[in-house]
Amino acid sequence: MNDETINEMIIKCPVCGIEGVAKSIMKEMEIPHFGQVMETTILCPKCGFKHSDIIALEQNDPAKYELEINKNTMSVRVVRSQSATIIIPEAGIKVEPGPKSEGYVTNVEGVLTRFEDAVIKALNLFEDDESQKNAKNTLAHIRDLKNGNGTATLILLDPFGQSNIVSDSVKVSEIPEEELHGLKTGFSVIEDN
């Protein structure tokens, strides 16, 4: 990766509001299997706030990636752009992008860990028995997969084609037009009719 600092400046911290203490850093770089990106970081030494994001600077054809999750695919690299939807149908998991979605690079185990953490947080929010039961079943399924027990399908849908699952075992296909129009992107999109 060839890093080139585009912009570095001192700004007002978006959390503590102190003027002139937070540092904003933007770098443009090339990431293999992902393309040209802008990495943004905000750091505040006063309150400890830190925010990082990776914004894709290229748009490719929409793509659907499918990979079988099993004990042999835990280390497969997953590149998720801020506009991608991730689905594990067997576990009842679907995560769609929203306005605050962030891109990340991890592996299959890391994706499962993110889902595990989210379900644990959600368990604290659910009060009714049915929601608790569903969340606990989802959590058990995720943990079984992480422990190498069973299989499931990891589906990554990216309307801008900026995501990737880096494996010879991945099935890559086009997203059907009717499915593409129903995908959330996390961005406000204005269509000209």
Between CA 65 and CA 164 the distance in angstroms is 7
Q: Mean per-residue pLDDT for 53-71? A: 86
Which domain CATH number covers 173? 2.60.120.1040
**pLDDT tens string 93-116:** 999 988 777 778 899 999 999 999
Predicted model pTM: 0.72
Of the chain, the end-to-end C-alpha distance in Å amounts to 40
Asked if 84 and 44 sit in the same domain, the reply is no
On whether residue 17 sits in a domain, the answer given is: yes
Rounded-to-10 torsion of CA 180, 188, 118, 95: 0
**Per-residue confidence band for 33, with pLDDT thresholds at 50, 70 and 90:** low
The residue segments making up the domain with residue 154 are 63-182
Asked if 48 and 110 sit in the same domain, the reply is no
- Enclosing H/E stretch for 157: strand 152-158
Between CA 25 and CA 41 the distance in angstroms is 5
The pLDDT value given to residue 1: 46
Domains contained in the chain, number: 2
Residue 188 has pLDDT above 70, yes or no: no
Residue 34 has pLDDT above 70, yes or no: no
Please, which residues have CB within 8 angstroms of residue 106's CB and are 6 or more apart in sequence? 77, 78, 80, 114
